[in-house]
Each structure stands twice: as structure tokens, then as C-alpha cells.
Amino acid sequence: MRALLLFLAHREGFKNFILRFKIFQKAAWRFVAGETLDDAIRVVRDANRLRMRGTLDLLGENTRSRADAINAVREVFTMLDRIRDEKVDCNVSVKLTQLGLDLDADFCRSNLEEIVRRARACESFVRVDMEDSIYTQRTLDIVQKVHTVLDNVGTVVQAYLYRTAQDVAGLLEAGVTIRLCKGAYLEPETVAFKKKRDTDANFLKMTRQLLQSGLYHAIATHDECIIEATKAFVRAQNIPRERFEFQMLYGVRRHLQQKLAQEGFNVRIYIPYGRRWYPYFMRRLAERPANLFFVVRNFFKG
């Protein structure tokens, strides 16, 4: 089922079919803040009121023209300015294919550097999202180059990739802060663990390494077993809660998000928005059967 949903995430015909049913778009708003920046800022404010931070992601990837990539840069500028003006506790996440990585690596790096420079002027931070494995090395190369000039940029590593331990070592040596997640793309067995227990074991190993590094990292998971193991490790090692944060997706395990915040942990909610919400929504359905059941249940209610 997961493979099928990830396949359908990039099929325009299926997208056009299901969007005939308003219930699917309605269900998407459980996981997507909306289509406008106003929608997203409202969600950030709600999170802040619950003592949680936000990271805004303008949905969209695999830009096909330089003009589209430049437009994406301008939209991220608007996000950063709005976050500063609204005085909300939030930063931004970006994808490099949205900034032109498929077109030209130097062009993409220049676009990212402009965004990070603008973020610094706004006293903010930029997290570069990780995409599927064909982009991993290029993403890390660009982030590390920009980081040598501007240190308010970090990136993401995915625990299901075999290469992640080596990538973490290189990023820590360069002083780059990391968001650790399990990984949401359909990868071949040649590059990624296929068994959940192997991914979980690698995630916990990387978590311990990050927490002991002295840098401020993000542990991005909804897995309660991993969260409890992380909390136990922090207690055992006397690691201050101020040294890291848990990150979770908007609309997923909301009660758990609030519970962690109430316990005094730093919690940041990944808040996506924009008109290109369909591929993101399908990935969320693929990740957890409960998400798909939510849509199906509401479909029959409608």
C-alpha cells in the first residue's frame, strides 16, 4: 500500500480524479495548514499559544525553470519578512529542487545563500529539507558550502539510508545542525533499510550521537518508543532540554506534541502550506495506515 500511494503521489491523472471529491481536500487540511501564507501564520500562532515553535514549508519541488525557482526565493523572502513582522516563533524549511537543483547546482546554491542571508537579517534560521536519495550528496555539498559563509543554515538526514552515519559524522565535523528523521521516500534496498527495526536502531544510534555533540539538533519522530528512549538517554547523560528539540508534523499525533511541550521539552511543528499540497499529502498517507484510515473514514461520512 505504501509503495502504491507514493507512486500515485506523482500521477497527475489520479490527482485530478480524487480532487473531484471535496472530502480529499478537506482531509488534506489535517496535514497542510492551507494554501496561503495567512493560513500558515494562523497555524503558527496556534502552536505558539501551546508553547510550541513552528517551521514553515512552502510546498513545491522539482522546479522546471529558473523563473519558477526565483519566484520560490521571493516567496520565501515574504515568509521570512512576515515571521519577523508578526513576531511569531518560527523559522523556515526549503527544498533544493524548489530552488533549481535540477537545473544547475551553482544557481541553486546562490538561491539558497540569498535565502539564508535574508534569514540572518531577520534573525532567523533555514533548514534545508532532504529529498530522495538521488539528491542526498548534492544537498549536503550545497548546505556545507553555504554554511562556511553563513552559519544559520542546517539540514536533514534520514535514518533509513545506509549512508547516514557517514553523513552525520561529516556534518558534525563541519558544525552543521541536523534534523534527524526516518525518511519518507520509497528507496531501493540497495541504499536503504527495508525493515522498520533496522531503521529504528539506526535512528536511536544517530540520536545518541547528535545529543552528545554539543550542537543544537532536532529529533523528528512521532514514534513513542523512540521518544521515550530519547528522554531516558537525556536523563541518564544529564543533557539539558535546552540543547535539543523534538520535531513533529502538523496534524500528526497532536496530543503527543502537546504532552511533550507540557513536560518542558522544546517542540517544533513542521507546518507545510501552499497550492502544491498533493504530493506531500500522499506521502503522509503512505507513512502511517492511521492517516489513510482517517481519510477513508471521513470519505464515507461525507
Q: Which residues pair with 57 in a beta bridge?
A: 93, 272
Inform me whether the pLDDT recorded for 9 exceeds 80: no
Tens digit of pLDDT for each residue in 69-88?
A: 999 999 999 999 999 999 99
* Phi and psi, residue 192, nearest 5°: -140, 150
Which residue from 206, 116, 106 is spatially nearest to 154, judged by alpha carbons? 116
| Residue 301: predicted pLDDT | 41
For range 127-145, the mean pLDDT:
97
Residue type, position 56, single letter = L
46 is catalytic: no
Rg (C-alpha) for the chain, rounded Å, is: 18
How far apart (Å, rounded) are the C-alpha atoms in residues 236 and 152?
A: 30
In a domain, 257, yes or no: yes
Q: Is the sign of the CA dihedral 140, 146, 151, 152 positive or negative?
A: negative
What is the CA angle 288-291-294, rounded to 5? Answer: 150
Q: Which three cell numbers stand for residue 172?
A: 558534525
Share of the chain above pLDDT 70, in %: 85
Q: Which member of 129, 132, 167, 200 is catalytic?
A: 129
Tens digit of pLDDT for each residue in 142-194?
A: 999 999 999 999 999 999 999 999 999 999 999 999 999 999 888 999 999 99
Residue in the block written with cell 511541550: 261
How far apart (Å, rounded) are the C-alpha atoms in residues 56 and 64?
A: 22
Instruction: Give 281's pLDDT tier (boundaries 50, 70, 90).
Output: confident
Q: Which residues pair with 56 in a beta bridge?
A: 92, 271
| Residue 20: predicted pLDDT | 58
In a domain, 70, yes or no: no
| Residue 29: predicted pLDDT | 78
In a domain, 37, yes or no: no
What is the CA angle 101-106-108, rounded to 5? Answer: 35
Greater pLDDT, 252 or 47: 47
In a domain, 190, yes or no: yes
In a domain, 8, yes or no: no
Inform me whether the pLDDT recorded for 1 exceeds 80: no
Average pLDDT, the chain: 89
In a domain, 229, yes or no: yes
Inform me whether the pLDDT recorded for 6 exceeds 60: no
| Residue 282: predicted pLDDT | 74
Q: Which member of 109, 179, 268, 283 is catalytic?
A: 179
The alpha carbon of 191 is separated from its chain's Cα centroid by a whole number of angstroms, namely: 21
Greater pLDDT, 34 or 153: 153
Tens digit of pLDDT for each residue in 201-239?
A: 999 999 999 999 999 999 999 999 999 999 999 999 999
In a domain, 209, yes or no: yes
Q: Tell me which residue range forms the domain holding 200.
A: 118-276
Q: Is the sign of the CA dihedral 266, 269, 270, 274 positive or negative?
A: negative
| Residue 14: predicted pLDDT | 53
Number of independent structural domains in the chain: 1
81 is catalytic: no
Tens digit of pLDDT for each residue in 241-261?
A: 999 999 999 988 999 999 999
Min mean pLDDT across 15-29, 38-52, 120-134 is at 15-29
Tens digit of pLDDT for each residue in 265-279?
A: 999 999 999 988 777
| DSSP reduced 3-state for 223 | coil
Element containing residue 46 per DSSP (H, E): helix 37-49
CATH number for the domain spanning 270: value is 3.20.20.220
In a domain, 56, yes or no: no
Element containing residue 28 per DSSP (H, E): helix 22-28
Q: What does pTM read for this prediction?
A: 0.87
Phi-psi sector, 289: left (phi>0), alpha (psi -120 to 50), beta:
alpha
| Residue 101: predicted pLDDT | 98
Share of the chain above pLDDT 90, in %: 77
